[in-house]
Amino acid sequence: MSKKFHVYVISDSLGETGEMMARAAAEQFGGNEYEIKRYPFISNEEQIMEIVEEASAHRSIVLITTVLVNLRDKLREECSRYNIPMVDLLIPVMDVFSNFLGLEPAGEPGLVHRLDERYFKKVEAVEFAVKYDDGKDPRGVKKADLVLVGISRTSKTPLSMYLAHKNIKVANIPLVPEVPVPEELFEVPANRIIGLTTSPYKLNEIRLERLKALGLDSQASYADMGRILEELEYSEKLMKKLGCPVIDVSSRAVEETANIIVEIMKKNMLI
């Protein structure tokens, strides 16, 4: 039986071209199970580091469609660091155009979607997710279509970005026992809040990998099982108080969890 592989499609725009090419190529190798993960609107090096770090935990290939030189260089650097094969889908084509026309490319992402109304809505949703990520501004919870709550490393940010691609404005709030949640959260209807939880063992594994990637001591309280159980107990109590639906993300890919959320929102007539 063949071993499953993952294809990470990273783009500074929608990433649709990359996903289509990834699927077309993967299907030529029948009998090999694969999963495609698309990350649109990537705009900074920190996002790239997190995505490539995640890819390093799997048998992965990275495909990129970005016209921004600094992001392309960072992707090459990170993929090389983790020994992950990377394919730049745009550069060979742009080089041919550049040589033929005698011009340099504009280096501006998303031009093909500039006049697309849906594209603008996606951009607005992505900007919203970035602005109100990780509880940066609690006022966002009252403006959001959806609020995600959960302790650290329960996929709040990846889910926010993925749902933004579906034109859903998401704010997310980290749950920490020592830090009170913003009062605004209790003013949001329960059907517009989703709680995220996970297995303590899975969380321990993820947090240990995170500490290792950051070069920090694996004995730090962040990955301590006692601390993890304390955080999960606190989050469970708070979610019960909020009366919101709760999704266990332990064995689910971001896409699967996002689809569950979309179905909940449709059922509640929020989209």
The total number of structural domains in the chain stands at: 2
Cα dist from 215 to 77, 102, 223, 228, 236, whole Å:
18, 46, 14, 20, 31
Per the prediction, the chain carries an average pLDDT of 90
Q: Token pair 């725009």 is at which residue?
A: 13
pLDDT of residue 111 exceeding 50: yes
pLDDT at 255: 93
CATH code where residue 171 lies: 3.40.50
From 101, 130, 146, the end of a domain falls on 101
Residues 11, 42 contacting (CB under 8 angstroms): yes
- Give residue 58's domain range: 5-101
Question: Is residue 153 marked as binding?
Answer: yes
Question: Is residue 157 marked as binding?
Answer: yes
pLDDT at 1: 45
Question: Is residue 212 marked as binding?
Answer: no
Nearest alpha-carbon partner for 109 in 42, 200, 173: 42
Question: Is residue 98 marked as binding?
Answer: no
Whether residues 26 and 135 fall in one domain: no
Question: Is residue 122 marked as binding?
Answer: no
> What are the pLDDT digits (tens) for 61-77?
999 998 888 899 999 99
pLDDT at 271: 83
Whether residues 18 and 144 fall in one domain: no
Whether residues 29 and 147 fall in one domain: no
Q: Rounded to two decimals, what is the model's pTM?
A: 0.59
Question: Is residue 150 marked as binding?
Answer: yes
d(CA 164, CA 66): 19
